[in-house]
Structure 1
Amino acid sequence: MLKDKLTQLQNEIASAKHITYLTGAGVSTHSGIPDYRSKGGIYDGVAMPPEQILSDDTLYNAPEQFHDFVMNNMYFPNAKPNLIHNKIAQSCNKNGQLITQNVDGLDKKAGNQHVIEFHGNLYDIFCTKCQKSFTYDEYKSSYIHQQDQGIIRPGIVLYGEAIDQTKLMQSVNAIQNSNLIIICGTSFVVYPFAQLLTYRNPSARVWAINKTPLAQDAGINAIIGDALDVFSQLEF
């Protein structure tokens, strides 16, 4: 049965005019980056709820605590793109678009020229007071901009902050103009990311490649299994 589904998906990839990929942390786990909520994930064993530790409130009112958490739990500067990143990049550069929840920058490292980083990028680091950019190494050494005492932060969407409207509209446009949508490595429960699917063309085919079934499964063709194994058998 799995072989039949893979053949069907391969045929749809080959005939698709435009493919949109929706990805999450399950893609980057194969690059050694933990996901969020599973055992061993970045929230595992953390006393403070993620909605609190990764909030704009903590960033501004307890910046040292915020800085310690992201540095110790979210940055993996030596991580490299894996086969999934590479194959999605190959597909997107041909006729597709990637909308990712991941903030690790690995899709761009893989050479993907059509990436919307829905929740931002950890390496887009800047001073909240003057907007000056900083490198990872500079941020690692201090979260205070010495020239104006502004708080330095990564350009990721925190709890309490809105999604960038330009990225939101670009994402909606990509979904609307695709005749094939592939969801991979995400539980697909975080909003508004999970809401993007509602904008799809009714005739668009939707596939999910995941270790577990999605909560919203109406009209979705599911391949339950390891995404790395699945993508290793697909050609783009």
Structure 2
Amino acid sequence: MLSETKEKAEMTAQIIAQQKNTVILTGAGMSTESGIPDFRSESGWWRKIDPLSIATAEAVEENYSLFHEFYSDRLSTLSECRPHEGHYCLASWEKSGLVTLVATQNVDGFHQKAGSVNVEELHGSIHRFRCHNCGEIADKEEFMRQTTCRECEGKLRPSVVLFGEMLPETAWQRSMELVEKAELVLVIGSSLQVYPVSQLPAITRGKTALINRDETSADTDFDLVMKGSAKEILQYMDNYLKNAEV
């Protein structure tokens, strides 16, 4: 890890330790080190296929076979992946009273699997399923078998937020409230290109920090920017916090 990144990681950890009111915002880059492809990098999902042809309500209604194939493949990929050490670092910070919320754009559920409790899934969950028409709850097996809704015979889908759909109101409102009050908002692995989540860091009254492998158009808006592996930087910060006996 570069010395400049280490210095900024220590500064960020100091804020976390001193203020004890940090909100974490994670994007796809948080999960890539668990083996999950991201969306906008050179090897990401959206470089291989047009998202507007799949991740939309229209695709559910008009091209369900392609929609189902895409999300079935994602579920198969997820079944072989696990949270990495960085996820566990965030969970331990929450347990120590340093982190008040993890707001995530990810639908993989890895924060909860690692032990984080206060999690808001801004883009839903790929592990929950429902009818696209009536909202009736379904299970994974029903979705994978391409059965229809037991209530209205509608098409089944994961409970993820598709392009053009509203974010879950409760998750969004709680995230906004806690981000606004936070002493630090730490963004991890997000390109901050997706509205409205991209606006969250701007509403905080506290400091802002970003961990990301690549440059983003929002870099200059942050107080601290750390380039590199989310897992590695979070582990470094966790060791610093442990040595500081927080």
Matched, 1:23 2:26: yes
More helix as a share of residues: 2
* Counterparts of 2:170 and 2:101, CA distance in 1: 15
Residues 1:17 and 1:73: Cα distance change in structure 2 (over 3 Å):
closer
The equivalent position to 2:17 in structure 1, one of 10, 14, 24, is 14
Letter in 1 for 2:8: K
Gaps of 5+ in 2: 242-246
Measured on the aligned residues, the alpha-carbon RMSD in Å equals: 1.8
**Percent identical residues:** 28
Gaps of 5+ in 1: none
- Give the equivalent residue in structure 1 for 2:112: 108
Mapped contact 2:86–2:232 kept (Cα < 8 A): no
CA drift at 1:84: 1.2
CA drift at 1:147: 5.5
Provide the aligned length of Structure 1 versus Structure 2.
232
Matched, 1:117 2:121: yes
Residues 1:220 and 1:213: Cα distance change in structure 2 (over 3 Å):
farther
- Give the equivalent residue in structure 1 for 2:156: 152
- Give the equivalent residue in structure 2 for 1:38: 41
* Counterparts of 1:45 and 1:56, CA distance in 2: 20
- Give the equivalent residue in structure 2 for 1:227: 230
SS at structure 2 position matched to 1:97 = strand
Residues 1:126 and 1:221: Cα distance change in structure 2 (over 3 Å):
same
- Give the equivalent residue in structure 1 for 2:179: 175
Mapped contact 2:25–2:188 kept (Cα < 8 A): yes
Mapped contact 1:89–1:111 kept (Cα < 8 A): yes
Letter in 2 for 1:52: S
Alignment TM-score, normalising by the size of structure 1: 0.91
Letter in 2 for 1:141: R
List aligned pairs for 1:66-85, cutoff 5 A. 66-73=67-74, 75=76, 76-85=78-87
Residues 1:38 and 1:3: Cα distance change in structure 2 (over 3 Å):
closer
CA drift at 1:197: 1.6
Letter in 2 for 1:31: S
- Give the equivalent residue in structure 2 for 1:209: 211
Letter in 1 for 2:71: V
CA drift at 1:130: 4.6
User: Is the deviation greater in 84-93 or in 186-195?
Assistant: 84-93
Residues 1:167 and 1:147: Cα distance change in structure 2 (over 3 Å):
closer
CA drift at 1:213: 2.6
Alignment TM-score, normalising by the size of structure 2: 0.87
SS at structure 2 position matched to 1:22 = strand
